[in-house]
Amino acid sequence: MKINENYLKLPGSYLFSQIAEKVNAFQEEHREARIIRLGIGDVTLPLAPSIVKALHQAVEEMGQGSTFHGYAPDLGYGFLREAIAREDYEKRGCQIRADEIFISDGAKCDCGNIQELFAEDARIAVCDPVYPVYVDSNVMAGRTGQYDPASGTWSNVIYLPCTRENGFIPALPEETPDLIYLCNPSNPTGTTLTREQLKLWVDYANTHQAVILYDAAYEAYISDPDVPHSIYEVEGARTCAIEFRSFSKNAGFTGVRLGFTVVPDSLTFQGASLHHMWARRHGTKYNGAPYIQQRAGLAVYSEEGKREVAEQVAYYMRNARVIYQGLREAGFEAAGGVNSPYVWLHTKELTSWEFFDRLLACAHVVGTPGSGFGPSGEHYFRLTGFGTYENTVEAVERIKKASGQLLGTE
Ligand code: PLP
């Protein structure tokens, strides 16, 4: 027996376990400290009432012989696919049919699994910094070379730096990739591409026969009318883009698990349809998202549901604004926080981890070191709007008080 040695290439310690270790050690030494966690990428508000009601109803149905549901259809129930097609696509002027929407248990799995459709020697391009799943899932599949700990990069991966120098807008690559991962709004920078900026990528992908893997997990946080909620708002996307969506961040489903992927039937390469390939993959390796979850997903699109989840998004965005404005007032350079719950601050001469340690020591606030998201994340730091409002306000006050030490001006 031989193992898949690609797994051994992955560097050991995972970012969030490293953070937890440091925080626990600090709390151990400073038992009186009330630590505030603004590093979280998880939602904290409970599920909205209309969603809880739908869950209860679906559980009741499962307990009656006449309404019991066994295996769900592999690709999702029609009631949910149709609601998504209507509410997320038709209403935004996108031409996406219900049968092009594949329901799943979340965007992470789909982002990780999609690479199976592509050749082993396909070249990937990723924004840097970015959600680590895109690179790591390709490492596991053997699509990358070796990891260089000194530079924090993998060979055979095209990095698209997104930094303050380019306004966090990735430039088109010199070397042509086969697969281009775009996350809009971006985790971790919280910045966005406008419709016009995205059009450049769509045209590029169509010209070069590349596929864009577009992660729109945070689309519900967009308020700027120039930023698209879906890549299919951009002309030409139907022939080059796959889109990932999640119910996690718009409706608090991180613990419920529900998402979907759009694979238009116009995506044809070498005479093969990616739509059929993905359907085949679902049919073979996935037995469908549970009925109960899909009923809860449908409730997100009810009038009541829409209003309730919009209130939750507004709550997190108020926090993000408090963080963003507070940081700016304290003299930090910060991005994000407008169309995203993430605020991305520059740590000046401190490394991301040095800033982490100093923030914990001086303000008892926890965030996420930017270097954990890719080499261009070094000297940046992520704070999120997913905490409570009260904690967020207090954390920002503490950061303001400690700003001299944090910015190195004291
Ligand atoms: N995509 C991005 C960019 C994310 O940040 C996350 C979660 O943090 C996900 C996808 C995962 O979404 P899900 O909970 O649907 O798996």
Domain boundary (257, 281, 299) is at 299
pLDDT of residue 17: 87
pLDDT, tens only, 92-135: 999 999 999 999 999 999 999 999 999 999 999 999 999 999 99
DSSP state of 86: I
Q: b vs e for 169-182, b when ≥16 Cβ sit within 10 Å of the residue's Cβ?
A: ebeebeeebbbbbb
Task: Say yes or no: 244 and 281 in one domain.
Answer: yes
**Given the CA of residue 41, which atom of ligand 1 is nearest to it?**
8
Query: Measured in angstroms, how far is the CA atom of residue 306 from the centroid of ligand 1?
Result: 20
Query: Measured in angstroms, how far is the CA atom of residue 28 from the centroid of ligand 1?
Result: 31
- Nearest-CA residue for ligand 1 atom 1 is 217
Task: Give 267-271 contacts, CB < 8 A, sequence gap 24+.
Answer: 267/211, 267/238, 267/239, 267/240, 267/241, 267/242, 269/209, 269/211
pLDDT, tens only, 219-229: 999 999 999 99
Task: Say yes or no: 185 and 262 in one domain.
Answer: yes
CA end-to-end distance (rounded Å), the chain: 59
Query: Measured in angstroms, how far is the CA atom of residue 134 from the centroid of ligand 1?
Result: 11
**Given the CA of residue 259, which atom of ligand 1 is nearest to it?**
15
Query: Measured in angstroms, how far is the CA atom of residue 405 from the centroid of ligand 1?
Result: 34
Which residues surround ligand 1 with Cβ inside 6 Å?
41, 106-108, 111, 131, 183, 187, 215, 217, 246, 248, 254, 259
pLDDT of residue 12: 72
- Nearest-CA residue for ligand 1 atom 11 is 108
**What distance in Å separates the CA atoms of residue 355 and residue 358, rounded to the nearest whole number?**
5
3-class state of residue 238 by DSSP: helix
pLDDT of residue 13: 65
Asked whether residue 63 is domain-assigned, the answer is no
Task: Say yes or no: 218 and 363 in one domain.
Answer: no
- At 220, phi and psi to the nearest 5? -65, -15
**What distance in Å separates the CA atoms of residue 142 and residue 79, rounded to the nearest whole number?**
38
Task: Say yes or no: 82 and 12 in one domain.
Answer: no
Task: Say yes or no: 255 and 165 in one domain.
Answer: yes
Q: Are 133 and 112 in contact (CB under 8 A)?
A: yes
**Given the CA of residue 247, which atom of ligand 1 is nearest to it?**
15
Query: Measured in angstroms, how far is the CA atom of residue 111 from the centroid of ligand 1?
Result: 9
pLDDT of residue 410: 74
| CB contact set of 238 (below 8 Å; sequence gap of 6+) | 95, 232, 264, 266, 267
Q: What token pair was written down for 261?
A: 């992927």
How many domains, in total, are found in the chain? 2
Asked whether residue 193 is domain-assigned, the answer is yes
Residue 407 has pLDDT above 90, yes or no: no
Task: Say yes or no: 213 and 309 in one domain.
Answer: no
**What distance in Å separates the CA atoms of residue 276 and residue 265, rounded to the nearest whole number?**
8
Asked whether residue 59 is domain-assigned, the answer is no
Task: Say yes or no: 286 and 316 in one domain.
Answer: no
Mean local confidence (pLDDT), 172-177: 97
Domain boundary (270, 299, 328) is at 299
**Given the CA of residue 183, which atom of ligand 1 is nearest to it?**
3
Query: Measured in angstroms, how far is the CA atom of residue 41 from the centroid of ligand 1?
Result: 9
Q: What token pair was written down for 35?
A: 């630590």
Asked whether residue 64 is domain-assigned, the answer is no
- Nearest-CA residue for ligand 1 atom 12 is 107
For the chain, what is the mean pLDDT?
97
Asked whether residue 247 is domain-assigned, the answer is yes
Residue 371 has pLDDT above 90, yes or no: yes
Residue 277's nearest CA partner among 132, 133, 139, 119 is: 119
**What distance in Å separates the CA atoms of residue 46 and residue 388, rounded to the nearest whole number?**
12
What CATH number is attached to the domain comprising 97? 3.40.640.10
**Cross-strand pairs, 57:** none
pLDDT of residue 153: 95
pLDDT, tens only, 36-73: 999 988 999 999 999 999 999 999 999 999 999 999 99
Task: Say yes or no: 38 and 76 in one domain.
Answer: no
Query: Measured in angstroms, how far is the CA atom of residue 404 from the centroid of ligand 1?
Result: 35
**What distance in Å separates the CA atoms of residue 61 and residue 392, rounded to the nearest whole number?**
41
Task: Say yes or no: 264 and 316 in one domain.
Answer: no
> Residue 379 CB: number of other CB atoms within 10 A?
20
Residue 294 has pLDDT above 90, yes or no: yes
pLDDT of residue 309: 98
Task: Name residue 369's amino acid.
Answer: P
Mean local confidence (pLDDT), 271-276: 98
Widest CA span in the chain: 71
| CB contact set of 47 (below 8 Å; sequence gap of 6+) | 55, 251, 252, 253, 256, 296
User: For the chain, what percent of residues have pLDDT higher than 70?
Assistant: 100
Task: Return the best residue to mutate from 43, 187, 286 for the ligand 1 pocket (most ligand atoms within 8 A of CB).
Answer: 187
Using only C-alpha atoms, the chain has a radius of gyration, in whole angstroms, of 22
Q: Are 364 and 292 in contact (CB under 8 A)?
A: no
**What distance in Å separates the CA atoms of residue 312 and residue 250, rounded to the nearest whole number?**
8
Task: Return the best residue to mutate from 249, 250, 258, 260 for the ligand 1 pocket (most ligand atoms within 8 A of CB).
Answer: 249
Task: Say yes or no: 216 and 148 in one domain.
Answer: yes
Q: Where in the sequence is the domain holding 36, given as residue range(s)?
A: 6-46+305-405
Query: Measured in angstroms, how far is the CA atom of residue 216 from the centroid of ligand 1?
Result: 9
Q: Are 178 and 211 in contact (CB under 8 A)?
A: yes
Question: Quick one: how far is CA 53 from the chain centroid?
Answer: 27
pLDDT of residue 14: 74
**Given the CA of residue 106, which atom of ligand 1 is nearest to it?**
15
Query: Measured in angstroms, how far is the CA atom of residue 217 from the centroid of ligand 1?
Result: 6
Q: Are 196 and 206 in contact (CB under 8 A)?
A: no
Task: Say yes or no: 181 and 260 in one domain.
Answer: yes
3-class state of residue 58 by DSSP: helix
Q: Are strands 272-273 and 268-269 parallel, antiparallel or unpaired?
A: antiparallel
Asked whether residue 281 is domain-assigned, the answer is yes
Task: Name residue 164's amino acid.
Answer: R
Q: Are 269 and 128 in contact (CB under 8 A)?
A: no
What CATH number is attached to the domain comprising 315? 3.90.1150.10
pLDDT of residue 316: 98
Asked whether residue 264 is domain-assigned, the answer is yes
Domain boundary (235, 267, 299) is at 299
Q: Determine if residue 68 is left, alpha or beta; phi over 0 gives left, psi from -120 to 50 gives alpha, anything else beta.
A: beta
Asked whether residue 244 is domain-assigned, the answer is yes
Query: Measured in angstroms, how far is the CA atom of residue 271 from the centroid of ligand 1?
Result: 31
Task: Return the best residue to mutate from 131, 135, 293 for the ligand 1 pocket (most ligand atoms within 8 A of CB).
Answer: 131
3-class state of residue 279 by DSSP: helix
User: For the chain, what percent of residues have pLDDT higher than 90?
Assistant: 97
Task: Say yes or no: 252 and 374 in one domain.
Answer: no
**What distance in Å separates the CA atoms of residue 131 and residue 96, rounded to the nearest whole number?**
26
Q: Are 75 and 81 in contact (CB under 8 A)?
A: yes
> Residue 100 CB: number of other CB atoms within 10 A?
24
